[in-house]
Chain A
Amino acid sequence: MKTFKTIAVGAAFAALFSTTAMAACGIESGRVSIVGNEFPAIQSIAAAAAACAGGDVTVESNLTADHQKINVAGMSGDPAEYTTAVVANSSIVALINEDVIRPLDDLVAKHGQDIPKHQLITVDGKIMAVAFMANAQHLVYRKDILEKIGMDAPTSYEEMLAAAAKIRREGILDYPVGGAYKAGWNLAQEFTNMYIGTGGDFFEPGTANVSINNENGIAALEMMKALTAYMNPDYLTHDSNATNAEVEAGNVALLNMWGSRTGNLMDDEGAEEDVYSNIAVGGPLMVGGSGRPATTLWWDGWTVAKNISDEDAEATFLAMKAGISPDMLNDETMSQAVWLMPNFEASPVNEGVLATVAASATPYPMVPFQGLLHTALGDNIADFLKGDETAKQTLADIEAAYTVAATEKGFLK
């Protein structure tokens, strides 16, 4: 016990000295508290921001997959528990809706002149977040299997169906198509991709009135159903992790997958060599003839809480700026994401996301009521895929469920 105490005291002193020495980033005092999702890229940023701690500056972080359930509550108090939330273009909407994050124009003017303009997220002309990475879903395929059937990598879902049919016909795989079709958020995301690909708009312009019960909606659902015929019958329980497990097990040859998750498929962990060495990424897939890719672009970025002192806000801004500074990119962090910093060097894993950006795919809509529609989609699409009802009925159910929710939240009268 005595030894333990000595070590503890020693460690405390060491920590004290080292942090005092590290008081950098140009912050004199203030409290920085980060809440965000948990994946390597964000962990690297939180670690780089934590290096700003020392003296009167404290930096804490709470990185968890459940961040969306706690960030609004944690920023609603005065003073807010979290001084910054790391969010994506879908989840920033909840923070803007509840008015818990502050515009960053004055802080950018004072401290952020060197942040590239394309990293600044503006809503109605006000800077609300600073983005640091891009993400998108795009084609991932097994090149050995496509070679075997003598087909090129598909560029559209129609071609994907043709390739899948041939793979099955030749007896290579029973269920060659993969997809995160788990009922709920994932399934809604796949519909969102497909519906955008057909050229459809979710709402009547400028209003919260939903309009998806149309030809585009039906086409999107029909294409999804056609794809599920080539998926493992358990597809309604497969999220991204389960889908990737199927790929790594060598059961899937074609899928639409997140760029941030392809690294796991291409590394030598969890799969046989003839599987992981044959994984290749393609661009975004098209559907129909709209010319708009059937996928959405995503960014991840950080915000600053509204209900905190200006001193803490300044400290938070500087610490997070240090967290995403070009200096934090090194051999280890470079491949963790498609970074938006100017000195980012892409590796083969990132080609899918970059191709999606180059194809001018649509960003996931930053609309105040998109989240309500997403939930309604996730709750109802399975009924159609299971064959319990018609596409028209499903779309009508989605519209009705959304309308009730939007009325409750005050978006509709």
Chain B
Amino acid sequence: MKHSSFFWFVLPSALLMLLFIALPIVSVVTQSLYTAHEQVIVEVENCGPFGCTKSTAIDQEATETLRAAEPLGKFAGLDVYTDRNHLAISEVGTLWVESDGLPDFGSALMNLPFYKAMGFTLSYTAIVTPLTIILGFMIALAINSVAKVFRGPTIFFSLLPFIITPLVGSLVLFWMVDARGILGTGLQWLSGDPTLSVKASTGLMWAMLMTYGVWHSAPFAFVVFYAGLQTVNQDTIEAALIDGASRWERIRYVVIPHLTPLVTFVALIQLMDNFRVFEPIISFSAEAHATSLSYAIFNDLGGETRLLSSAAATSVLTIVGVAILLSPILVRTYRDFGK
């Protein structure tokens, strides 16, 4: 392709990417470096239907001049990143010195909001991603060997968890595992413990969130692998058959190598998605047991007083986290491309 036609070809997408991806990131980074102005607080008397009370309020006139002078707010540099609600550098330092061995340090670290969120996010990503790929692959293999007549309906039903809106899908599961729901009661019966409740135990809550994660995204992996299975070279399979390869050997030595690029693709998408885990935490009301970086952003923006700088800093940390997580795969893809 000529350089000029290439330029005109990519210009619209490049412009859109600049407008909708690059600029918002610049804005978020900027926001995270500034905090609100110092507020001038005065004591006031508030009156209403229930009488008068002494209270405090912001002196708007005094604060106004500060605002007008620096409309972006007060430059804080990396202060927001290093404070206790984010990387908590100084708190971690103190913990390291004061803690009594690694397990003690670990549990104290999990008391800091950022590390607590990272603890769950990373466990979720590390467990859900491989399970999704394995389960998706198994479904694809199973459906590929179903008689042609039944394939349509089977594919449809296998895709259902992915089609259902995440919020609705998780709410359905949420009510089923309720202590009075069908799965919750079933678990109590199985374990013989009538007080067992999934929603009351951190461990079970994590397990349920992860189960949900796998249930919801396995169909995605399945669809990709199923498409890949249709392109497997039948001659090679037949040759392997003649050589006496078992079904497992055919899968191991013919099918899986053929699907490797697709595994990379699914892993990439799933790592990104799982690192941003959010909806299940909200719809399972799991805030008390599990938080994630996305949940922290939502929480900062959902309060009566919005913490924009804090949310911006967490967003930047999320981008950095995704970049670190994806780097091994990206490097590998780049190397393969170079060959």
Residues of A participating in the B interface, judged by any CB pair closer than 8 Å: 68-69, 72, 89-91, 93-94, 96-97, 99, 118-125, 131, 134, 182-184, 203, 205-208, 232-237, 239, 297, 299, 340, 357, 360-363, 365-372, 374-375, 379, 382-383, 385-386, 389, 393, 397, 400-401, 403-405, 407-411, 413
Contacts and interface: CB of A to CB of B under 8 A. Distances in A.
Contact of B304 (A91, A206, A408): A91
A97 B305 CA distance: 9
A122 B304 contact: no
B303 interface: yes
Interface stretch (B80-88, B216-224, B325-333): B80-88
B50 interface: yes
Contact of B56 (A367, A385, A397): A367
Contact of B287 (A68, A184, A208, A393): A184
B301 to A, nearest CB: 8
A73 to B, nearest CB: 9
Interface stretch (B19-27, B127-135, B140-148, B194-202): B194-202
Contacts of B202: 386
Contacts of B285: 182-183, 236-237, 239
B137 to A, nearest CB: 34
Contacts, number: 178
A123 B44 contact: yes
B46 A234 contact: no
B104 to A, nearest CB: 13
B35 A408 contact: yes
The 6 lowest CB-CB distance pairs between A and B, nearest first, are A371-B304, A382-B288, A124-B44, A237-B285, A183-B288, A371-B305
B50 A374 contact: no
Interface in B45-97: 45-51, 53-58, 60, 64, 74, 76, 80, 83-85
Contacts of A369: 305
B305 A372 contact: yes
A184 B310 CA distance: 18
B64 to A, nearest CB: 8
A368 B56 contact: yes
B288 A236 contact: yes
Contacts of B303: 371-372, 374-375
Contact of B41 (A207, A235, A340): A207
A367 B55 contact: yes
B166 interface: no
B36 interface: yes
Interface string B97-129: 000000000000001010000000000000000
Contacts of B289: 236, 382, 386
A122 B287 contact: no
B37 interface: yes
B260 interface: no
Nearest to A125: B45
Contact of A234 (B45, B57, B113, B199): B199
B43 interface: yes
A247 B50 CA distance: 30
A408 B309 contact: yes
8 contacts: A96-B57, A123-B46, A299-B49, A371-B304, A374-B303, A408-B83, A409-B307, A410-B38
A385 B287 CA distance: 13
B36 A410 contact: yes
Nearest to B34: A408
Contacts of A362: 53
B252 interface: no
Nearest to A69: B302
B178 interface: yes
Contacts of A385: 288
B151 interface: no
Contact of B199 (A97, A233, A371, A411): A233
B299 interface: yes
Given A121-B46, A372-B307, 5 more contacts: A94-B305, A208-B56, A365-B55, A386-B289, A408-B310
B284 to A, nearest CB: 8
Q: Which of B47, B51, B288 has the most CB of A within 10 A?
A: B288
Given A96-B58, A183-B287, A367-B56, A404 B85 contact: yes
A366 B39 CA distance: 16
Given A121-B47, A409-B39, A234 B178 contact: yes
A27 to B, nearest CB: 26
Contact of A363 (B53, B306, B307): B53
B242 interface: no
Contacts of A205: 54
B42 interface: yes
Given A68-B304, A184-B287, A236-B199, A379 B113 contact: yes
Contact of B113 (A239, A363, A401): A401
A251 to B, nearest CB: 8
Nearest to B110: A388
B84 A401 contact: yes
Contacts of A340: 49
A122 B47 CA distance: 5
B305 A409 contact: yes
Contacts of A72: 306
Nearest to A408: B35
Contacts of B199: 233-234, 236-237
Interface in B158-174: none
B293 interface: no
Contacts of A408: 35-36, 76, 80, 83, 307, 309-310
